[in-house]
Amino acid sequence: MAVSGGVDSLALTHLLLRWARERHIVVHGLTVDHRLRDAAAFEAAQVGTWLSQHEVPHTVLRWVDGLQVRERTGSAQSAARDARYGLMTDWCTANDCSHLFLAHHADDQVETFLQRLARGSGVDGLAAMASAILRDGIVIARPLLGFSKFQLMAVCRALEQPWIDDPSNQNPAAARVRFRQSQQILEREGLTRSRLLATVGHLQRARAALDHAVGALLEWSSWDDFGSARLPVERIVEVPDEIALRALARLLTAAGGQVFGPRFDSLARLHARLVAGPWCDATLHGCLVNREGAELHISREPAQITDKRSLSQNTSVVWDKRFKLTLAADVAATFTVARLPMATCLPGFGGATPVTIPVRLRETLPALFDSQGVAAMPHLGYRRADIAAIPGFRLGVIGVSAMSAVAPSGDAKL
């Protein structure tokens, strides 16, 4: 669970602990020291003290770039939010933890709706936050969306749990704070919290209906072991535009290892060319989009892959937000996970590229490097001779892109 030290996250802590202990589930607290304020390190330590009183294990994750980013008055909070998600989901992956609980509540839901309404968002945006989503292979759970901040404060007061007030929550430079401060004006005009939440509920039901239709279309799609998707062009053309656009967005998001979908204008142009022609291969949202006969083929764009991860004995990492790699070995070894450049030759393959994998896909797959060069490439079943000789060397890979409800996860297991 994410525990910032605020009243929301501490209320979540107590409620979640009661639920988990009745079911013999271990809960681990994560606090991100974002370094945007000088007091952040002290606050993280204070959270650890509070959690230790309840025998809850606690880890502080430090955002190393926070000191530099804090100077960006306009984007610091947004960058910090993305960093928090990345640090926490990476920790969950490395520690084989399937769920990350967050303390977003009903007031947050209203503010999210108003922010997205101001940006002109569609159904998905106005449906605001879901109670559970999959991000980087981890379930992000928000069990408190039906409760107000007032109720969460009551929980902490009843349990005599102190909390930390973050001054940034009162800074009018943030749009979310300005919307929060305007609530009294909105309520006088009839835009009460209960009515706004009811609207969010209507939109969530509409989104669920659209998702059902998209799911029916995506049953015609297929995923290969290399994280690329195929969908018959005929199926895209015959459905209403809204369903086709959503299906394409979901495929692009998964194949590109993205968290959010592509910009609507770019997506609409791609769909229009596909339906009306003339067609030409395109790049969008970190993907290559090719038409191969009667099928549309969507794969990762090699030039957009910059991720490098360290992988050591008995650990797991998510690489490029698409593949989860788990290494188990009887000897200590550390590798760097990165993409394999096209010109790289693999000893044991005679210096030639295996013909079973197209070059454009081969360049999008994870390879393990050490001081001697390429050590292993699991999709090819390749291990350098000295690596193959390591007793007990095993390397597992799962295509995380197929774990986003686009396709069954089994389709991408190697």
| CATH code of the domain in which 241 resides | 3.30.465
Q: Are residues 55 and 97 in the same domain?
A: yes
Q: Average pLDDT, whole number, for the chain? A: 87
* Confidence at 360, pLDDT banded by 50, 70, 90: confident
332: three-class secondary structure by DSSP: coil
Residue ending a domain, among 283, 303, 323, is 303
DSSP secondary structure of 69-112:
HTT-TTTHHHHHHHHHHHHHHHHHHHTT--EEE----HHHHHHH
Q: Are residues 93 and 171 in the same domain?
A: yes
Tally of domains within the chain: 3
Region 104-108: what's the mean pLDDT?
95
Whether 248 is covered by a domain: the verdict is yes
Q: Considering only 52-56, 245-249, 306-310, 360-364, which range has the smallest mean pLDDT?
A: 360-364
Q: Are residues 150 and 234 in the same domain?
A: no
Which tokens belong to 322?
């698409």
Q: Are residues 147 and 47 in the same domain?
A: yes
Whether 91 is covered by a domain: the verdict is yes
Q: Are residues 178 and 249 in the same domain?
A: no
Q: Are residues 314 and 298 in the same domain?
A: no
Contacts of 188 (CB under 8 A, 6+ apart): none
The answer on pLDDT for 176 being more than 90 is no
User: Quick one: which of 8, 92, 13, 93 has its CA closest to 55?
Assistant: 13
Whether 156 is covered by a domain: the verdict is yes
Percent of the chain with pLDDT over 90: 57
Region 137-165: what's the mean pLDDT?
95
Query: How much is the pLDDT for 135?
Result: 85
Q: Considering only 277-281, 344-348, 355-359, which range has the smallest mean pLDDT?
A: 344-348
* Confidence at 242, pLDDT banded by 50, 70, 90: very high
Whether 216 is covered by a domain: the verdict is no
Whether 202 is covered by a domain: the verdict is no
Q: Are residues 169 and 265 in the same domain?
A: no
Q: Mutual orientation of helices 193-218 and 106-118 as an angle, nearest 10°?
A: 70
Q: Are residues 11 and 151 in the same domain?
A: yes
* Pairwise pLDDT comparison (351 vs 54), residue with the higher score: 54
Q: Are residues 226 and 107 in the same domain?
A: no
Residue ending a domain, among 276, 303, 330, is 303
Q: Are residues 109 and 138 in the same domain?
A: yes
Query: How much is the pLDDT for 262?
Result: 93
| Per-residue exposure over 61-91, b if at least 16 CB sit within 10 Å of its own CB, e if not | bebeebeebbeeeeebbebbeebbbbbbbbb
Whether 287 is covered by a domain: the verdict is yes
Q: Are residues 28 and 172 in the same domain?
A: yes
- 383-395 tens-digit pLDDT: 888 888 887 777 8
User: Quick one: which of 198, 189, 150, 117 has its CA closest to 11?
Assistant: 150
Query: How much is the pLDDT for 73?
Result: 54
* Pairwise pLDDT comparison (39 vs 176), residue with the higher score: 39
Query: How much is the pLDDT for 394?
Result: 79
CB 112 within 8 A of CB 128: yes
Q: Are residues 246 and 129 in the same domain?
A: no
- 270-303 tens-digit pLDDT: 999 999 888 889 999 999 999 988 999 999 999 9
What is the domain extent for residue 100? 7-194
Query: How much is the pLDDT for 259?
Result: 83
Which tokens belong to 103?
């303390």
Query: How much is the pLDDT for 118?
Result: 87
Most confident of 99-108, 127-136, 342-351: 99-108
Whether 2 is covered by a domain: the verdict is no
Whether 187 is covered by a domain: the verdict is yes
| CATH code of the domain in which 43 resides | 3.40.50.620
Determine the Cα angle at 411 with ends 254 and 243, to 5°.
45
* Pairwise pLDDT comparison (61 vs 326), residue with the higher score: 61
Percent of the chain with pLDDT over 70: 88
Residue ending a domain, among 262, 279, 303, is 303
* Confidence at 198, pLDDT banded by 50, 70, 90: very high
The answer on pLDDT for 304 being more than 50 is yes
Residue showing tokens 């009294």: 184
- 153-174 tens-digit pLDDT: 999 999 999 999 877 666 666 6
Region 230-241: what's the mean pLDDT?
96
* Pairwise pLDDT comparison (176 vs 377), residue with the higher score: 377
The answer on pLDDT for 136 being more than 60 is yes
Contacts of 157 (CB under 8 A, 6+ apart): none
